[in-house]
Structure 1
Amino acid sequence: MEYRIATEGLMCGHCDAAVETELLKLPGVTDAEADHETQTVIVESARQLHADELAGAFASAGTTFRIVSIEVA
């Protein structure tokens, strides 16, 4: 499954890397690509992810990062 996540608070490549690292820790996640310029994160997963799992990964990555919306692509 692919998820497109609209975000707020990603400001640089370090922010992107922090979010990607935490998302890749979730069981089933095979890829995560964050882009601070578009405030978008694309997540590939072998299983269905719940919004609270994604939000938890963002919270672990940093206090300024926030999910605006999640769309299943």
Structure 2
Amino acid sequence: MNYTIKTQGIMCGHCEATVESALLKVAGVTDAEADHDANVVTVECGEGVSADALREAIEGAGSYKVLEVSAN
């Protein structure tokens, strides 16, 4: 399963790395890629990973806000 997450507050490469690291700690997440220019995070994960778990990981990592989560 893949998710595309629109965010706010990811401003630089360090922010990208922080968000990616937080997402990779969520059980079932196999890959995460943040793009601060587009304010989008793409996540690859198993079927059991919820959008809420991804939202909590991103928002818990710092001053980042999740605006929308779409399953692909």
TM-score interval (norm. to shorter) = over 0.9
TM-score normalised according to structure 2 size: 0.92
Q: CA deviation at 1:46?
A: 1.7
In the aligned structure 2, how far is the partner of 1:14 from the partner of 1:3? Answer: 21
In the alignment, which residue of structure 2 is the partner of 1:68? 67
Q: CA deviation at 1:61?
A: 1.1
Counterpart secondary structure, 1:27: coil
In the aligned structure 2, how far is the partner of 1:46 from the partner of 1:5? Answer: 16
In the alignment, which residue of structure 2 is the partner of 1:43? 43
Within 5 Å, which residues of 2 pair with 1:19-38? 19-38=19-38
Q: Which AA in structure 2 matches 1:65?
A: Y
1:3-60: CA deviation from partner (whole Å, max 9, x where unpaired)? 0000001000000000000000011100000000000000000223223211210122
In the alignment, which residue of structure 2 is the partner of 1:6? 6
In the alignment, which residue of structure 2 is the partner of 1:59? 59
**Residue ranges of structure 1 left out of the alignment (5+ in a row):** none
What stretches of structure 1 move > 2 A for 4+ residues in a row?
Answer: none
Which has the higher mean CA deviation after the structures are superposed, 36-45 or 52-61?
52-61
Which has the higher mean CA deviation after the structures are superposed, 23-32 or 39-48?
39-48
Aligned CA-pair RMSD: 1.0
Identity of aligned residues (%): 47
In the aligned structure 2, how far is the partner of 1:11 from the partner of 1:59? Answer: 14
